[in-house]
Amino acid sequence: MTCEIRSKEEKQFLLDQRYLAMARIWAQNSYCVRRQVGAILVKDKMIISDGYNGTPSGFENVCEDENNKTKPYVLHAEANAISKVARSNNSSDGATLYVTASPCIECAKLIIQAGIKRVVFTEKYHTEDGVLLLDRANIEVVHVEDEMSVNFINK
């Protein structure tokens, strides 16, 4: 029987892969047609919140209008996860957010205010404003492009 010794970075990468896989699965709960996004909020290796993009509670589960544009009141996955943890007894201070798409500028502001210290994502959003703001706030941002590669935006 062999015992495989892994570095701290390798262990973290494997954890990142697993939590991103969970975020991808969680994204499937979204009723949005154009894009489904999932988010998992983790602290001390424990999932403390989750979210996916969609309409506010009590609204119809239709994210796009007749022109296939996202309705202005649709919440992003990150906003849903942060709102959900705010209503719980958990604290997001120092947590890691795993999300299937890089945060937009509005979600980046929420991430900063929520005390989240690390963001790991797979797909790039159409603008990098959110990632740039997180970088400015000294939040570690990690882009995992696929199962085998990782790109540290900042450390």
**φ, ψ at 93 (rounded to 5°):** -60, 120
Buried b or exposed e, range 90-102, using 16+ CB within 10 angstroms: bebeebbbbbbbb
Is beta strand 38-43 parallel, antiparallel or unpaired with respect to 46-52?
Answer: antiparallel
**φ, ψ at 46 (rounded to 5°):** -125, 135
| Element at 43 (helix H, strand E) | strand 38-43
Bridge partners (DSSP) listed for residue 151: 143
CA distance 36 to 28: 7
Q: Which residues are catalytic?
A: 78
CA distance 69 to 135: 29
